[in-house]
Amino acid sequence: MTDIINLTLTELVNKIKSKEISSTDITSNYIERSKSSKKLNTYIEETFDDALVNSKKFDAKPDLQKKLPGIPIAVKDLYCTKNVKTTAGSKILENFVPSYESTVTQNLWNSGAILLGKLNCDEFAMGSSNETSHFGNVLSPIDNNLVPGGSSGGSASALAAKLTPATIGTDTGGSIRQPASFTGTVGLKPTYGSCSRYGIVAFASSLDQAGPMTRDVKDCALLLEVISSFDNKDSTSIDFKRPNYFSDLNKNIKGKKIGIPKEYRVEGMPAEIEKLWDNGKEYLKNCGAEIIDISLPHTKYALPTYYIVAPAEASSNLARYDGVKYGFRVEGENLIDMYEKTRSQGFGDEVKRRIMIGTYVLSSGYYDAYYLKAQKVRKLIKNDFDEAFNKVDAILTPSTPSSAFKVGEKMDDPVSMYLNDIFTVPVNLAGLPGISIPAGLDENNYPLGLQLIGKPFDEQGILNIAYSMEEKINFKLNTSDWWNK
Amino acid sequence: MTIDLKTVKHISKLSRISIDDQKAKKLEKDLNSIFKWIEKLNELNTDNVEPLTSIAETTLRFRKDQILSKNIREDILKNSPKDNKDYFVVPKVVE
Amino acid sequence: MKKDQYLIEKNGNNYEVVIGLEVHAQVLSKSKLFSNSATKFGSEPNTQVSLVDAAFPGMLPVINEFCIRQAVKTGIGLNAKINKKSIFDRKNYFYADLPQGYQISQYKDPIVGEGSIVLDLPSGPKTIGIERLHLEQDAGKSIHDIDPSSTLVDLNRSGVALMEIVSKPDLRSPEEVNLYIKKLRSIMRYLGTCDGNMQEGSLRADVNVSVRKLGSDKFGTRCEIKNVNSIKFMQMAIEYEANRQAELLEEGGIIDQETRLFDTKKNQTRSMRSKEDAHDYRYFPDPDLLPLEFDDQFIEDIKSEIPELPDQKKDRFIEKFKLSPYEATILVSDLETSKYFEKVIKNSDVKLSANWITGELFALLNEKNIEIDQSPISPENLSKLINLITDGTISGKIAKTLFVEMSNGDQDPKKIVEEKGLKQQSDPKELEKIIDKVILDNPDNVQKYKSGKDKLFGFFVGQVMKASSGKANPKIVNDILKKKL
């Protein structure tokens, strides 16, 4: 039944509904493949036994009205899952077992999905290569010794390696879109406030969003429809009429105006990415869309702004990991000693570095110069987009300034690692929806992605455009299964 | 602005993360390269710009004054590193 | 120098004491400020703790509307400016009973701005400025005396709503502090926004104290005495601290701006040990919450719920019932007392009612150490008692006996009068008989009285009362005695 793992999420759902295959068939196939793919290090926690039990339960009494009937899904280990260990990729939570479920994962289970396991990620979602996880780095199925991107690296790798039919990640500065781009998959970051943050281990509260990661755009629309919901347990959740993203998906983008921001043509960007971007424009024109040059003048300030705002919020969000209530503790001579030892040994280097940056920018005497300044620039960045969206319906950019890099290549140079998110970060700062779709390969046959940025709450708009482009691009992800040999 | 070793140690104290001298030196280097890059923001005049405090363009939603959470002491304490069925336990604090 | 001014004298130099208070008043509400767990006092440890209160990963705050209304209501009671937009900030610091690692508070933009409270001083009214009122979360409780080797943490109080009410540095003596706290508490009790119970910690204060040479218009360096939970301790702490500072200045010393603790065993303030770690709270707007906004209608609705407050009630009592300002102040100082008074005077003489309540009843309550709402004598029965006096059924003296009788079980005074035959003897013929006998039995004193010893009149009255077992109507006795002698 190797066919099963090659089916898309939508195809699986259809075959379950038509009773061609059972949930147990699907689940056991994915478990088998996951078991033989340990080299990729995608899972932190496997719940295979429970998944099988649940799939059998489903088959015994199938509810085919559900949107994800009996579909096994592995999720990023940033989502709290009831009675299943949740680590956020950190030693400080290595033994933490929540007694509660995140809203987004609850939405999955309510739709009939079954948990396969918890996927590796950068520690507290801080990283762009999945090398900061306490549980070891994740390898990309694309090539030996290649990073899958981050922070949802385990999710992207598991998805691309077909260890799960679809998955969910979280995106604070590009953590869904960048790994999707690196692994030839589709990843969408919804508008801030679309998906509930309740039960997701927080990194930077004003930027974090959950989102689907899938093999194609159709799957993406289906999964978004399931996970996006209004939640009164999250004060930043927004109560708007959510469309039926899946059934409303269409390729009619005639007359849509697509903006091309000149500031995204950054120095040193490889020619192949320029080419990819130009191809994207052509595809869109062929679909009847109109290409318009626009300007987002504050783009170059987005990353520095992000590296003030995100660490500042993180430094405060991560203060609760103090060894008192849950997780890892190192005993000390006194309370302060215990805190300092626990946090020093419980957090990895990148997390500590960001906590320190955040603490510094908020500290007395520096608040105005850094944090307040960043909030003001964030406003300017948002204004840029507001203005652009007066002229266009969506914006097309490359997803990343380069393709995936080798393991260890950027670990010693934080700034060069941060630069990876140059095209994705502005979208989080402005709270907009963004989707990355695979658009081609570089000279090494590594995937490259294009990003579509939409107006607030116009996920449907960018999904439709992505859907049209996908057909024209006709990207086929081929992994050699190198890790399986 | 440069961040010196003393500042690094002060921040580590505020963050409640102990660091040895070697780590502190490494951090001093990293932070300086990061902040050198961050200071690009100073090119911008933001005197008349309202800071953006929340990206969700709506106001705070209110909850009714209802008690919905029951006694879940067991759940609350079960992950705690020091076993005690009634309390969280920390090293003796002298005020 | 004003009369009765509170001054500290050192080496012949007079120092004026300048005091400002930061009162922490627990908001009366069923559930906590940002979570839906209970606020009840005295429950088993950690039984009123939600996942939000214990700061579990991914938990988010959602604000309690009632607490907002309570704060606005209190603001109106303090004649203060209500801010239609306010911001919740995080105050970051590590402590065992602060599970989030930050307290959600309001820093730059509080919900209530400037207001005032009027104190009734013997020398006349004095207005004390209110700087601001803001909402914040309470912390949990660290318990140091159960386990000899560890500190135990109870989070029942964690997240309970507090109003921090900051006064201007307008207070000048321990007595003014006493009156200020009592007045503030009285206003909040009238409003039903805080029960003001200091034993249970629902009202505590940080006391800022500085001294300056009499005549100086510059403030001295202040010290903050943290978390004092009784008026008596506040007064003692101020007295100690003012003397310490004045002495230090006399010795040519410099006062450090610092946080001190009041040691209730030694009756001294001392520097807090934890001050070595200079506080830098790194306030920033809580990204889990949006700005708190409401409209004029919201404020108007709350205004319409505001009851008559102590100052208005006092004016009414003086105006309508012709009470003295002194009596009125006492009767309105506590809402329950004023209610009791108003019930009594429904059917009884106002002046007598005021006397009986502030005299006998207060003495009784004091003796039993109970509040007026637990009074063993109901307002209805006190009213009956007073009416028995005014209609001449009993004498004032008998009334006092009757009052004691009633206090043992709130009996109807009329019944007791009948059962025990306490009715006043007002029949002149009956009284004449007794008087005649008294005159006959005391010829010597009659002689002395007639020869000018006027004071002996009282002796005769006493004898008559004695002979009538105290039941004789003293007015009629007086009249007859005067005639006969």
Tell if the CB–CB gap between C65 and B65 is shorter than 8 Å. Answer: yes
Tell if the CB–CB gap between A319 and C288 is shorter than 8 Å. Answer: no
A contact residues 159-218, partner B, Cβ 8 Å cutoff: 192-193, 206-207
**Which residues in chain C are closer than 8 Å to B72, comparing Cβ atoms?**
49-51
A119-to-A73, A135, A163 alpha-carbon distances in Å: 10, 10, 10
User: Position C193: which residue type?
Assistant: T
Tell if the CB–CB gap between C58 and A198 is shorter than 8 Å. Answer: yes
pLDDT at C121 over 50: yes
Asked which of A127-141, A226-240, A340-354, C447-461 is least confident by mean pLDDT, the reply is C447-461
Say if residues C18 and C210 touch (Cβ distance below 8 Å): yes
Q: Return the structure tokens found at A115.
A: 């948990």
> What is the mean pLDDT of the segment spanning A177-184?
98
**Which residues in chain A are closer than 8 Å to B1, comparing Cβ atoms?**
369
Say if residues A40 and A161 touch (Cβ distance below 8 Å): yes
Alpha-carbon gap, residue A305 to A430, rounded angstroms? 12
Tell if the CB–CB gap between C31 and B77 is shorter than 8 Å. Answer: no
pLDDT at A485 over 90: no
User: Position C283: which residue type?
Assistant: Y
Asked which of C212-216, C391-395, C438-442 is least confident by mean pLDDT, the reply is C391-395
**Which residues in chain B are closer than 8 Å to A351, comparing Cβ atoms?**
none
pLDDT at A206 over 80: yes
Q: Does A305 touch chain B (CB under 8 A)?
A: yes
Tell if the CB–CB gap between B95 and C272 is shorter than 8 Å. Answer: yes
Q: What is the residue-wise DSSP string for B47-59?
A: TTPPP---SS-S-
Q: Return the structure tokens found at A437.
A: 């779709």
Count CB-CB contacts under 10 A for residue B20. 9
Residue % of chain A over a pLDDT of 70: 100
For chain A, counts of helices (H) and of strands (E) = 16, 11
Alpha-carbon gap, residue C294 to C333, rounded angstroms? 32
Give per-residue pLDDT as tens, A303-350. 999 999 999 999 999 999 999 999 999 999 999 999 999 999 999 999
Tell if the CB–CB gap between B92 and C273 is shorter than 8 Å. Answer: no
B contact residues 25-84, partner C, Cβ 8 Å cutoff: 53-54, 56, 58-69, 71-73, 75-77, 82, 84
**Which residues in chain C are closer than 8 Å to A429, comparing Cβ atoms?**
none
How far does Cα A171 stand from its chain's mean position?
Answer: 5
**Which residues in chain A are closer than 8 Å to B70, comparing Cβ atoms?**
none
Tell if the CB–CB gap between B87 and C66 is shorter than 8 Å. Answer: no
Say what the pLDDT of residue C28 is: 98
> What is the mean pLDDT of the segment spanning A244-252?
97
How sure is the predictor about C398, in pLDDT bands with cuts at 50, 70 and 90?
A: confident
Q: Which residue has the tokens 């579990």?
A: C56
Q: Which residue has the tokens 């002796």?
A: C459
Give the minimum alpha-carbon distance from C377 to chain B in angstroms, rounded to a whole number: 36
**Which residues in chain C are closer than 8 Å to A336, comparing Cβ atoms?**
94, 277
Nearest CA in chain A to C279: A364
Strands of A167-171's sheet, edge to edge?
A167-171, A209-214, A186-189, A434-441, A447-454, A394-398, A257-261, A290-294
Alpha-carbon gap, residue C258 to C246, rounded angstroms? 16
Q: Which residue has the tokens 């003293």?
A: C474
Q: Which chains touch C (3 or more CB pairs under 8 A)?
A: A, B
Alpha-carbon gap, residue C392 to C354, rounded angstroms? 19
> What is the mean pLDDT of the segment spanning A168-173?
98
Tell if the CB–CB gap between C273 and B71 is shorter than 8 Å. Answer: no
Nearest CA in chain A to B14: A359
ipTM score here? 0.97
Helix C396-407 and helix C379-390, axial crossing angle in degrees, nearest 10: 160
Q: Return the structure tokens found at C109.
A: 């933009």
CA angle B74, B78, B80 (to 5 degrees): 130
How sure is the predictor about C3, in pLDDT bands with cuts at 50, 70 and 90?
A: low
Give the minimum alpha-carbon distance from A130 to chain B in angstroms, rounded to a whole number: 20
Residue spans of the domains in chain A: they are 2-257
Question: A interface mutation test: which of B4, B10, B17, B66 has the most A CBs within 10 A?
Answer: B17
Q: Which chains touch A (3 or more CB pairs under 8 A)?
A: B, C
**Which residues in chain C are closer than 8 Å to B66, comparing Cβ atoms?**
30-31, 36
Say what the pLDDT of residue A474 is: 94
Candidates A98, A201, A316; nearest CB to C90: A316
Q: Which of A28, A140, A151, A436 is catalytic?
A: A151
Q: Return the structure tokens found at C23.
A: 């009162």
C8-to-A420, A424, C169, C173, C396 alpha-carbon distances in Å: 67, 66, 17, 10, 47
**Which residues in chain C are closer than 8 Å to A325, comparing Cβ atoms?**
54-56, 99
Give the minimum alpha-carbon distance from A363 to chain C in angstroms, rounded to a whole number: 5
pLDDT at A214 over 90: yes
Nearest CA in chain B to C39: B67
CA angle A154, A155, A160 (to 5 degrees): 100
Nearest CA in chain C to B51: C285
Q: Is A247 a catalytic residue?
A: no
Question: A interface mutation test: which of C141, C273, C284, C292 has the most A CBs within 10 A?
Answer: C284
In CATH, C428-484 is 1.10.760.10: no
Candidates B1, B15, B90; nearest CB to A324: B90
User: Which is nearest to C211 in space by CA: C252, C172, C262?
Assistant: C172
> What is the mean pLDDT of the segment spanning A417-434?
95
Candidates A234, A313, A339; nearest CB to C94: A339
Give the dihedral sign, CA C411/C413/C418/C421: positive
Candidates C58, C61, C92; nearest CB to A201: C58
Q: In sequence order, what are the residues at sequence separation of 6 or more whose Cβ sits closer than 8 angstroms to the Cβ of residue A49?
A: none
My answer on whether omega of the bond before C116 falls inside 30° of 0, hence cis, is: no
**Which residues in chain A are closer than 8 Å to C62, comparing Cβ atoms?**
232-235
**Which residues in chain C are closer than 8 Å to B64, comparing Cβ atoms?**
64-66
> What is the mean pLDDT of the segment spanning C425-444?
84
Q: Return the structure tokens found at A311.
A: 């660490």
Q: Does A82 touch chain B (CB under 8 A)?
A: no
Q: What is the pTM of this model?
A: 0.92
Nearest CA in chain A to B48: A376
Say if residues A366 and B3 touch (Cβ distance below 8 Å): no
Say if residues A435 and A220 touch (Cβ distance below 8 Å): yes
Q: Does A380 touch chain B (CB under 8 A)?
A: yes
Q: Is A76 a catalytic residue?
A: yes
pLDDT at C4 over 80: no
Say what the pLDDT of residue A14 is: 97
How sure is the predictor about C1, in pLDDT bands with cuts at 50, 70 and 90?
A: low
**DSSP β-ladder status, C115-121 and C102-105:** unpaired
Q: Which residue has the tokens 């007295």?
A: C239
Q: Which of A23, A37, A90, A175 is catalytic?
A: A175
**Which residues in chain A are closer than 8 Å to C94, comparing Cβ atoms?**
319, 322, 336, 339
Say what the pLDDT of residue C275 is: 46
Q: Which of A28, A55, A76, A140 is catalytic?
A: A76
Alpha-carbon gap, residue C452 to C449, rounded angstroms? 5
Residue spans of the domains in chain C: they are 7-303, 310-420, 428-484
Q: Which residues pair with A293 in a beta bridge?
A: A260
Alpha-carbon gap, residue C225 to A214, rounded angstroms? 59
Tell if the CB–CB gap between A198 and C59 is shorter than 8 Å. Answer: yes
Query: What class does CATH assign to A2-257?
Result: alpha beta
Say what the pLDDT of residue C276 is: 45
A contact residues 387-416, partner B, Cβ 8 Å cutoff: 414-415
How sure is the predictor about C10, in pLDDT bands with cuts at 50, 70 and 90?
A: very high
Mean pLDDT of chain A: 96
Rg (CA), chain C: 29
Give per-residue pLDDT as tens, C257-280. 889 999 988 989 998 755 445 679
| Interchain CB contacts (distance < 8 Å): A and B | 153
Helix C396-407 and helix C413-420, axial crossing angle in degrees, nearest 10: 110
Give per-residue pLDDT as tens, A72-130. 999 999 999 999 999 999 999 999 999 999 999 999 999 999 999 999 999 999 999 99
Candidates B13, B53, B90; nearest CB to C150: B90
Q: Does B84 touch chain A (CB under 8 A)?
A: no
* Helix extents (H) in A366-458: 373-391, 414-418, 425-429
Candidates A102, A232, A364; nearest CB to C280: A364
B contact residues 39-58, partner A, Cβ 8 Å cutoff: 39-42, 44, 46, 49-58
Residue % of chain C over a pLDDT of 90: 73
